[in-house]
Structure 1
Amino acid sequence: MLYQKNPDTKLMPASTTKMMTALVALSAYPLDQIMTVTRPYPDGQDIHLVAGERISVERLLYALLVQSANDAGEILAEEYPGGRDTFVAAMNARAKQLNLLRTQFQNPTGLDEDGHYSSAADLARLADEFMHKPLLARIVSAENVVLATSDVSAVHVLANTNQLLGQVEGVLGAKTGYTDLAGQALVTLVNRENHPVIISVLGSTDRFSDTKKLIDWVYSNFIWD
């Protein structure tokens, strides 16, 4: 730990939740499994999937992590054996396995809900596990993506919600988050000269500026052997 401020305070994690959603989905489904959209998903950020679209798990993961699409997260959860509640239970079981002692999930998207919380330290640990999955690390490093449904009946153009990608040296990606109650969140993996650092910011009013300042501070003040 190079720097910390209230690392164990339980806070609403917003869409940084989706790192865990992706980990559970990655272990549960073949990437080429096709899922069918059965209903509209009106809550929060989405890619406007419509009923009848057929889209692969891998493409849903891109939507979930690049554009932070809630509709993608809900579909991945609803298709789980036992349904959405069982998927969320699997998220919490994985949190226990990772020793995330101040984390509990109530939904797969990060929308504000009583009993849905994490901490900056827990999210840093989660990001470490997440970024060690090559596919997930590759997905969150993508600045822009064009996705087609399996029958090419619809095309979705995605823009990464992480504004530091391609703008700040060494930023490899991870996950943004925002709700009115949670404020701005950003968990970032940055690697300069083979010295990787994870920065976890919650409850911010300017997550990108805060994270950039921390990146500059870390690489200006620490010397690695």
Structure 2
Amino acid sequence: MPEVIIPGPAGRIEARYEESEIPGAPIALILHPHPKAGGTMQDPVVITLYEMFAKRGFSTLRFNFRGVGRSQGSFDAGPAELSDAAYILDYLESINDSARACWVSGYSFGAYICLQLLMRRPEIDGFIAVSPPANHYDLAFLAPCPASGIIIAGDKDGVAAPSDIERSLTKVRVQKGEEIERAIVPGANHFYQDKLEELEATAAEYLDRRLAAANPSTLPSIEELEDEIDDFDEEE
């Protein structure tokens, strides 16, 4: 995962980028937790999401918001971080101009920024938001939510409790044909301590299901090929 330094709106932005070898591969942008709570792109949940997308052939990028790590600038409590995310998405699209799909994902504060970005970028096809802190940020701005995605939370989360997320989502509408799914990781706290594998499995199940629906295989199965061979032998 090579390090990249991107000239950003407040100076350089430190990032990690995994380029897919697949022509026209989809892209994924991963956003990290609150900088004032120690959030960086090296967070274990962020890395878990990053690696999950990369393993599925996505060209995947994560970065440090301004003022974090080697990224220049100062924390702005949301507006400037959203600007960073939009700028980095532009960059990711510019180096993957034939990408067949665009996904965004984030954890905690990064999930909030992820959902804000979703409302502003119609090219985003799906999202995975992990533990958005609905007790601090109202999700009513998802009105209507323009793309399908999933919100994942831990049932032991004292920071972004599932009940807060559900209460916030009661105000949310979605565009026709889109859906916001919800999933709970049993036993997981806000940091997914000892539950990263379960988190990845939950996110991967959703992503795999969406990818299969978007790109149904047109190739015959092994059984179908064997039947065709048997039929050909009988004709001979």
Give the TM-score normalised by structure 2: 0.25
Greater RCO between the two (CA within 8 Å, min separation 6)?
A: 1
Larger-gyration structure (1/2): 2
Give the TM-score normalised by structure 1: 0.26
